[in-house]
Structure 1
Amino acid sequence: MTVLPLIKAIAAQDAPRSLLDRCIVWGERWIFSAGFNVVSGMRDVSRIDAEVADIARLANAGARVSVLSHQGRYKDGSAQHLGDVATYLSGRLGKEVIYVPENTTESAVDHSRALAPGGVALFGNTRHHPGEESNDPALAAQFARLGDAVAVGGFSKAHREHASNTGLLKCLPGWAAHSLLIELERLSPWSGADPSVPSLAVLGGVKPEKTLVGLRSLSQTYDVVVPAGAVLNHVLRAQGYQVAKSELGEEPERCTKATLEILGSAAARIHVPNRVIIARRSGGSFADPREIRITEGIPSGFAIVDFFLESWLQDLMREFASIGCRAVIAGTPSLYLQGFGHASTQLLDWASAPRVKAILLGGDTVSELPFAGPTSTGGGSALCYLGEVDLPVLRALRENAATPWTET
């Protein structure tokens, strides 16, 4: 699908119902499904900032707003309390945001009902429940007691079917937050295939979706794909190389198996470097960096931390920059924050050229790399949308709109 038909499709009947089109009644109880998945220390609050206007619109119209958000993961114990988020959100809204650490108890429901019109409460982290990520319908029904309608934001989890987004839409009438639709509009120029414009995608980072979603889809719709990070390591493994201590992320065997299949059917030209920089890995630190050729093999205890662009890719990048192109960088290409910035710097400099229309995808990518152009903090969601021109949350919103709800 080319860019022009995509924009028309979003503007037509397939677009979800927008919160902006919904008349808010004074005193209504609303749930706002947010994506405040910020890292510890609140260093990057862009995911919160993106949703402030929607929450303010509800509150300013007299709604009683119960905000639900995820942060971290249940299975690895990284899900934290959201008190700091409530404090920050209070400052942005100019009014107190009550923090309620629970979200399914009778006490939580009482707090949601006790809100005055225009009041906002942030409830506990939805990922304190194992059923959040498995989209447990019973958990979704518990969340649904916090309101009578739901506004779905949280673009960063729009590619996930979780109890607090698609699950809620099985329980309550729902509308798409404007922040969600803004992200779709922002991504439109990079979505689908457009044979009239050269294209290049860089896929780095460590998350499985960079391989399972990004590599699979963009290798069919883009001209050139530059694997980096864990994606590159899966490509090398699929080609028979040993990668020693190099990062493989979660689900390494599944990702390598998928990579082998993807490489066999890719329409894009896939960049595989001959030369990489490796370093001895010790926990989260690296020492003894050195340059080697891939054919030499990665020594035991070492990890790939950076790589060099092949001459054919550099020539193509210069050509693309001269005639104009679109580019996606999803995931930091090298271990930039650890001081290994060769590939990252070279790709960022190219992406900043006047005729390169580039976007950075993903919260970590945006926070780690210096880039003045367009960004999207929804890494996995953005990749899913670029490839499929749809998302699970959008499908759920369309289905929800077709449901004959009886609103209270």
Structure 2
Amino acid sequence: MNFKTLDQIDFAGKTALVRVDINVPFENGQVSDFTRIDAVLPTIRDIAAAGGKVVLLAHFGRPKGKVVPEMSLRQVQPALEARLGQPVAFAEDCIGKPAKDAVSALKPGEVLLLENTRFHAGEEKNDKMLAAGLAALGDVYVNDAFSAAHRAHASTEGIAKLLPSCAGRLMEAELTALDAALGNPQRPVVAVVGGAKVSTKLDLLGNLITKVDALVIGGGMANTFLAAMGQPVGTSLCEHDLADTAREIITKAKAVGCKLVLPVDLVVAREFKAHADHQIVTECPADAMILDAGPASVEQIADIFSGSRTLIWNGPLGAFELEPFDTATNSAARKAAELTRAGTLVSVAGGGDTVAALNRAGAAQDFTYISTAGGAFLEWMEGKELPGVAALEAE
């Protein structure tokens, strides 16, 4: 990947239009999780310290091209000011006179938040007129919203073609980590793909088996593969209609030399609830459901991790939200964290359930990189071009 960073741009006296993702959750009228706000602070501070005027472009919710007062970014402004530790001005629109006047009033080092870009129907349509209206407000475009980079929107892709562009600190860190994981990784590379359904991750599996040396399949997905191989899965979550697809993936993995790793023992129960009576088996009884991988499977995964230099992780290995069916996920996560701390493994993980599972295991802080980008992370793992990233590629 060849893109410019903040360090290659002179921001002194210039207005930087910075695309951020501050689409944060609210509870009782207050921001309940500051992760996304905190993640963009380094970019804002670096541009301001370099003498630039910082103008923030962002979306909030899904207003679908209409002005929806409860989706106004004005309600995020106080939290942004508090975390940043300086005043943040606000403009009632992201283009036109309100935006122009607010930008004109800015002094170097000051910050302005523009109203929700998705209040304009042209945002999600990547409308050229809207992109031009945004670009007219500044001198430089900075994309620091990897989580929105899989969308070809006016504020993520269209505008990047109209101004000198670069990646912000968060985008730079994300792209560097992803390149280390799949673009130019240290080998052997192992991927963990878990979750409920194979059907949602067909593109992902198809891409990964051509890129990694070993692929660990867990969660409900593993049941579909086990059933396709003729093993009983009882009442487990399983997509029996995808048996042929699973067998095709198994065949393709063999052909390209990718080791496909499935559970060799299972933790089963008759009820889907925490602390349900359970047993460890090698074959699932007809009246039971598979809720986790067993200890022999965990040992197998740990051995593979120990022999690998790079790990990519998306999805839990079992019903991680229910004790004790979080054991395989927790054990594998802690092993990955241990190897990362020891400097023998580069570990990159992403996806909502994945982040939650690694946090529960107490392992997230030791991973090399945890992506909170959701859909963009998944599409990157699927090998798809991300429009917001492609638009930053230096010529």
Provide TM-score, normalisation by structure 2.
0.73
| Greater CA drift, 376-385 or 217-226 | 376-385
Matches within 5 A, 1:18-33: 18-26=5-13, 28-33=14-19
Q: 1:90 is paired with a residue of what secondary structure?
A: helix
Q: CA deviation at 1:32?
A: 0.2
Is the contact made by 2:219 and 2:292 (CA closer than 8 Å) also made in structure 1? Answer: no
Does residue 56 (structure 1) correspond to residue 40 (structure 2)? The answer is: no
Is the contact made by 2:12 and 2:50 (CA closer than 8 Å) also made in structure 1? Answer: yes
Q: 1:70 to 1:376 in 2, by over 3 A?
A: farther
Q: 1:319 to 1:347 in 2, by over 3 A?
A: closer
| Greater CA drift, 287-296 or 366-375 | 287-296
Q: 1:168 is paired with a residue of what secondary structure?
A: helix
Q: CA deviation at 1:18?
A: 2.1
Find the aligned partners of 1:319 and 1:210 in 2 and give their Cα distance.
28
Q: Which amino acid aligns with 1:198?
A: P
Q: 1:142 to 1:55 in 2, by over 3 A?
A: same
Does residue 124 (structure 1) correspond to residue 130 (structure 2)? The answer is: no
Q: 1:35 to 1:191 in 2, by over 3 A?
A: same
Does residue 170 (structure 1) correspond to residue 161 (structure 2)? The answer is: yes
1:159-194 deviations in whole A, cap 9, x for unaligned? 332322112213333222233222222334322476
Query: For structure 2, which runs of at least 5 residues remain unmatched after alignment?
Result: none
Is the contact made by 2:99 and 2:137 (CA closer than 8 Å) also made in structure 1? Answer: yes
Find the aligned partners of 2:95 and 2:202 in 1 and give their Cα distance.
33
Q: CA deviation at 1:264?
A: 4.7
Is the contact made by 1:210 and 1:231 (CA closer than 8 Å) also made in structure 2? Answer: no
Does residue 217 (structure 1) correspond to residue 213 (structure 2)? The answer is: no
Q: 1:330 to 1:108 in 2, by over 3 A?
A: same
Residue of 109, 112, 115 corresponding to 2:103: 112
Q: CA deviation at 1:239?
A: 7.5
1:145-169 deviations in whole A, cap 9, x for unaligned? 4434311111223333232211221
Matched residue, 1:376: 370
Query: For structure 1, which runs of at least 5 residues remain unmatched after alignment?
Result: 1-9, 403-408
Does residue 326 (structure 1) correspond to residue 334 (structure 2)? The answer is: no
Residue of 74, 77, 97 corresponding to 1:86: 77
Does residue 351 (structure 1) correspond to residue 336 (structure 2)? The answer is: yes
Q: Which amino acid aligns with 2:347?
A: A
Q: Which amino acid aligns with 1:34?
A: V
Q: 1:32 is paired with a residue of what secondary structure?
A: strand
Q: CA deviation at 1:69?
A: 2.1
Matched residue, 1:397: 392
1:35-69 deviations in whole A, cap 9, x for unaligned? 23434454543333232122122223333322112
Find the aligned partners of 1:171 and 1:245 in 2 and give their Cα distance.
52
1:178-225 deviations in whole A, cap 9, x for unaligned? 33222222334322476x733322223579997155323222222322
Matches within 5 A, 1:127-142: 127-128=118-119, 131-142=122-133
Is the contact made by 1:190 and 1:386 (CA closer than 8 Å) also made in structure 2? Answer: no
Find the aligned partners of 2:201 and 2:157 in 1 and give their Cα distance.
24
Find the aligned partners of 1:338 and 1:124 in 2 and give their Cα distance.
41
Q: Which amino acid aligns with 1:200?
A: V
Is the contact made by 2:311 and 2:347 (CA closer than 8 Å) also made in structure 1? Answer: yes
Provide TM-score, normalisation by structure 1.
0.71
Is the contact made by 2:351 and 2:378 (CA closer than 8 Å) also made in structure 1? Answer: no
Q: 1:159 to 1:129 in 2, by over 3 A?
A: same
Does residue 360 (structure 1) correspond to residue 354 (structure 2)? The answer is: no
Matched residue, 1:38: 24
Matched residue, 1:186: 177
Q: 1:122 is paired with a residue of what secondary structure?
A: strand
Q: Which amino acid aligns with 1:199?
A: V
Find the aligned partners of 1:335 and 1:388 in 2 and give their Cα distance.
27
Q: CA deviation at 1:125?
A: 3.4
Report percent identity of matched pairs: 29
Q: 1:208 to 1:275 in 2, by over 3 A?
A: closer
Q: Which amino acid aligns with 1:203?
A: V
Q: 1:376 to 1:157 in 2, by over 3 A?
A: farther
Q: 1:260 to 1:118 in 2, by over 3 A?
A: farther
Find the aligned partners of 1:359 and 1:89 in 2 and give their Cα distance.
28
Find the aligned partners of 1:226 and 1:279 in 2 and give their Cα distance.
25
